[in-house]
Amino acid sequence: CVLRKIAEKTPLQRLLEHLLRSMEKRDPQQFFAWPVTDNIAPGYSTIITNPMDFSTIKQKIDDNNYQCLNDFVSDFKTMCNNAMTYNHQDTIYFKTAKKLLHTGLKMVTPEKLKPLRSVLI
């Protein structure tokens, strides 16, 4: 039963996985799916001090690294703001990040979370 204990998800983990899946749907080109490398984005690691992407967020959920919703939202904001820092506003990356940030934050408003309570707990 030890293995079952490790695999079991907490209610918070189930909520965060649901939110992550919804956010990933807004990035069909998967620009935010993996860490941005200096190869595809010259100088990225010198400009962006706190890189973040969906795969890293997913790993943190699985490792039960998020103790509250706000810690998850904070990483999501960092991911979007990084793209709006490194990329000029006329790029697909900046535009996708701006829309992603806006829709993602709407998903975590109290009225959007309330109906989820019964479903996910």
**Would you tell me which residues interact with ligand OF5 (CB under 6 A)?**
31-32, 34, 36, 40-41, 83, 86-87, 93
Q: Output the smallest distance, CB 104 to ligand OF5, in A.
A: 14
Cβ closer to ligand OF5: 21 or 34? Answer: 34
Q: Output the smallest distance, CB 80 to ligand OF5, in A.
A: 9
- CB-CB contact of 61 with 16 (8 Å): yes
3-state secondary structure of 41: coil
Which token pair is 74?
A: 């904070």
* Count of C-beta atoms within a 10 Å radius of residue 110: 6
- CB-CB contact of 10 with 64 (8 Å): yes
Q: Output the smallest distance, CB 94 to ligand OF5, in A.
A: 8
Looking at this protein, which amino acid is placed at residue 115? P
Looking at residue 93, the DSSP 8-state letter turns out to be H
Residue found under tokens 């509250």: 68
Q: Output the smallest distance, CB 45 to ligand OF5, in A.
A: 12
Cβ closer to ligand OF5: 12 or 82? Answer: 82
Cβ closer to ligand OF5: 12 or 31? Answer: 31
